[in-house]
Every structure is written in C-alpha cells, then in structure tokens.
C-alpha cells in the first residue's frame, strides 16, 4: 500500500505499514485537509473531494480526539457517482499536536496530526511571552513534532529589541531554531522558505494577530486566507476560523490555525522532559529520587539555580507546567474511568433486555 502517488501528500512507508496492519491493503486512503462540523475536505492523488464519517465509525469513537482532524490519514470509500466519500477509519498518527480543551472540560482537543514541524509564531511587538513560548514547545515535542520559533513583525521595533528577545530565548535553555520575519518588508522570508521542504507538513501556531495568516498568504503568493487590516497597536486582527492544510508551490504543506487564547497541557510529561532537558539533566544528581526540586536538601537543581546557571523564570515555568500536567492527567484519568463504567452499565442493560425478550 506504499502508493507513490500519495508521497507528495506526506505518505511514506510508516503509514503504509500502519494501513496494512489496520485493514485491507487495497483500501483507499486520503488525507484530511479541513474539517467543518460533520464534513471533511480530503486530498488524494486525484485531487480534493468532500466526505462524511460513516455512522459505525462515529459510533465506535470513544472521544472527540479519536475523530479525524487536519493532517490525519483516513480510510475512505467513494465511487465516481458519489457526491461525498464515506470515511470508515482513521490511520494511526505518527505525530500529533493537541491541547487540553478550552474551559473547564478535561478533554483532549486535537489541533493537527502527522505534522513534521510545529512553527511557534510570536510577534516581537506586544505579543512576545517566554512562558507561553515554552508551553507551545512542550506540546510540540510531546506530540513528536520538531519545534521551530518564528519571531514576526520585526519592522515594528528596533533591531536591538529583536536581538534581546532572541538572547532571552537562548538564555532560557531553549535550543529550537529561531527565525525572524517581517511580513511588511519580507526580511527573513527567504530563510523561512528554505526550511519548508516538499512532502513535509508544517503547522503554524500562536496567538491571534501575530501574522500567521498574512505569512501564509505571502508563502502562497495570493490572498487565499482572509485577514483584516493591522490595528493601531500594530497587531493584526485576523479572521481564520478553521484549520486547513494548504499545499505550497514547492510541495511543502502548511497548516494555519485560529489564534488560541488557552493552550492547556494534558498528558505532556514527555514534552516537559524534552523541553526542559537542562533541568532534567541536573535532576538526575538530586539526593532523593522523588525530589520535587522545591525545598528538599541535596537538590542539584536548586544548586544550579542559586549559581545562576539556570534562569529563575525558566525554572518556575517548569514547575508550573509539571503541576498543571499532573493535575489534568489525574482529572482526565478519573473521567475516562467514569466513562468506561458507564459504558459497561449500558452494555449490561442491553444484555438484560435481550435476555428478557
């Protein structure tokens, strides 16, 4: 099932092996370009078409996170006479970008799937926030994607401000690549285009108004995505309302996202360890194996914190994200347990009704 016609859409041997293990090797596959309520825009070797979820697939999905999102590969049935395709299954995800759903609900919300590189966009004018940046990097790494940082709107500040922000990123122990860009003057656009490789998928994330849609418009070379004019503060007011996978002229694929006010971490233990590798490395020398790195004697992390080797803000954000992730994980596990118990209860009722017939 290693279809060479799908390679341009990101298909590779890994997906071919998953497809063979999950279903009939002859089944047709397509990639999700957009999701709009109960409909999806899919891409395959023949082009784009719309599809809906099969009833059984929808019924068998235990949570929204198990439904297709942008970037996913799905099994689909569609004849030439059909107006819509019918999605019967979801291939395993190689990588994922997810967050805790906004609000009080402890649920996983999928942002995108099978992303190679997550490009975290922050404006150097008003939007720059190191703690928020680290939060995005944690979730990118936790899902298996490679993170990259893009600092935009460099034309609105002095070069010294941009240099200071990049230095601040480096002083926090962040080793992800950092690019700078002005959508107005296009300074830095060439450097960004050089990292966008054919057949790879890049997901742009960040707050609303940092210039993601304007940036993608520039990469496409036309106004495919709607944006509003820049406000008096220099921040854009963009109107992206859905995630969409777009293929650039060079064959790279980009995903734009609506601005996210909340980016809660859930099940991000691996991402925290990868993003705070400097602290984790020191933690291995603590006197106690279960050291919380707060007030225990013999804490190696506290020692380097006192010496200034580790930035205080970087350390405090590490503790905050660990606590938040642990709290949400516990709440999520409790919810899943209740859902399973309720599911077993429903099955027992159905079984009793059948026996009484």
Here the CATH number for the domain that contains residue 324 is 1.10.40.50
How many domains, in total, are found in the chain? Answer: 3
Is the domain of 54 the same as that of 103?
Answer: no
Q: Which positions ≥6 away from 95 have C-beta within 8 Å?
A: 113, 114, 115, 116, 143, 144, 145
Rounded distance, CA 247 to CA 252, Å? 6
Specify if 262 maps to a domain: no
Q: Per residue of the chain (357 residues), give pLDDT as tens.
A: 456 579 999 999 999 999 888 876 667 899 999 998 789 999 998 899 999 999 888 888 877 888 999 999 999 998 877 888 999 999 999 999 987 655 555 567 889 999 999 999 999 988 898 888 888 888 888 889 999 999 999 999 999 999 999 999 988 888 899 999 998 899 999 999 999 999 999 999 988 788 888 888 888 876 555 444 333 444 444 444 578 999 999 999 999 877 655 555 545 555 676 667 777 777 777 887 778 777 778 888 878 777 777 777 777 777 777 777 665 555 544 555 555 554 554 556 555 556 555
Assigned token pair, 149: 């940082």
Is the domain of 227 the same as that of 156?
Answer: yes
Is the domain of 237 the same as that of 129?
Answer: yes
Is the domain of 25 the same as that of 70?
Answer: yes
Is the domain of 11 the same as that of 49?
Answer: yes
Q: Which of 256, 285, 315 is the last residue in one of the domains? A: 256
Specify if 263 maps to a domain: no
Say what the pLDDT of residue 314 is: 76
Is the domain of 228 the same as that of 313?
Answer: no
Q: Which positions ≥6 away from 1 have C-beta within 8 Å?
A: 16, 19, 20, 25, 26, 27, 29
Q: Which of 73, 90, 107 is the last residue in one of the domains? A: 90
Supply the CATH number for residue 174's domain: 3.40.50.300
Specify if 351 maps to a domain: no
Work out the end-to-end distance of the chain between its first and last CA atoms, rounded to an integer number of angstroms. Answer: 46
Element (H, E) at 120: strand 117-123
Specify if 43 maps to a domain: yes
Say what the pLDDT of residue 318 is: 75
Is the domain of 117 the same as that of 252?
Answer: yes
Say what the pLDDT of residue 198 is: 95
Say what the pLDDT of residue 251 is: 94
Specify if 354 maps to a domain: no
Say what the pLDDT of residue 333 is: 46
Is the domain of 47 the same as that of 156?
Answer: no
Say what the pLDDT of residue 192 is: 95
Specify if 291 maps to a domain: yes
Supply the CATH number for residue 8's domain: 2.40.50.140
pTM: 0.75
Specify if 350 maps to a domain: no
Is the domain of 38 the same as that of 15?
Answer: yes
Alpha-carbon distance values, 144 to 94, 115, 204 (Å):
8, 9, 15
Which residues form the domain of 18?
4-90
Distance of CA 224 to the CA centre of its chain: 22
Is the domain of 196 the same as that of 161?
Answer: yes
Q: Are 48 and 5 in contact (CB under 8 A)?
A: no
Q: Which of 56, 90, 124 is the last residue in one of the domains? A: 90
Say what the pLDDT of residue 350 is: 54
Say what the pLDDT of residue 83 is: 83
Is the domain of 48 the same as that of 103?
Answer: no
């Amino acid at each position: 099932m290693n279809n060479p016609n799908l390679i341009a859409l990101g298909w590779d041997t890994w997906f071919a092996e998953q497809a063979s293990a999950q279903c009939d090797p002859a089944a047709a596959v397509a990639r999700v370009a957009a999701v709009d309520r109960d409909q999806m825009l899919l891409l395959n070797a023949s082009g784009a078409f719309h599809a809906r979820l099969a009833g059984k697939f929808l019924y068998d999905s235990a949570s929204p996170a198990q439904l297709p999102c942008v970037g996913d590969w799905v099994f689909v049935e569609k004849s030439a006479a059909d107006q819509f395709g019918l999605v019967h299954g979801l291939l395993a995800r190689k990588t994922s970008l997810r967050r805790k759903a906004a609000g009080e609900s402890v649920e996983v919300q999928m942002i995108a799937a099978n992303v190679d590189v997550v490009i975290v966009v922050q404006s150097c004018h008003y939007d720059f926030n190191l703690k928020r940046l680290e939060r995005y990097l944690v979730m990118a790494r936790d899902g298996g994607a490679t993170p990259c940082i893009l600092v935009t709107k460099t034309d609105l500040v002095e070069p010294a401000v941009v240099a200071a922000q990049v230095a601040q990123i480096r002083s926090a122990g962040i080793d992800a690549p950092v690019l700078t860009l002005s959508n107005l003057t296009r300074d830095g656009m060439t450097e960004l285009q050089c990292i966008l490789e054919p057949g790879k998928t890049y997901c742009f994330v960040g707050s609303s108004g940092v210039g993601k849609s304007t940036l993608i418009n520039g990469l496409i070379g036309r106004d495919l995505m709607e944006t509003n004019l820049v406000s008096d503060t220099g921040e854009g007011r963009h109107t992206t309302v859905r995630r969409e996978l777009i293929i650039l002229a060079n064959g790279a694929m980009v995903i734009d996202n609506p601005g996210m006010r909340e980016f809660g971490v859930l099940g991000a233990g691996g991402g925290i360890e990868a993003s705070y590798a400097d602290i984790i490395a020191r933690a291995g020398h603590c006197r106690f194996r279960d050291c919380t790195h707060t007030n225990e004697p013999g804490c190696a992390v506290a020692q380097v914190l006192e010496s200034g080797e580790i930035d205080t803000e970087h350390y405090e954000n590490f503790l905050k994200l660990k606590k938040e992730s642990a709290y949400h994980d516990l709440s999520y596990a409790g919810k899943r347990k209740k859902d399973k118990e309720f599911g077993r209860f429903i099955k027992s009722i159905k079984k009793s009704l059948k026996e009484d017939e």
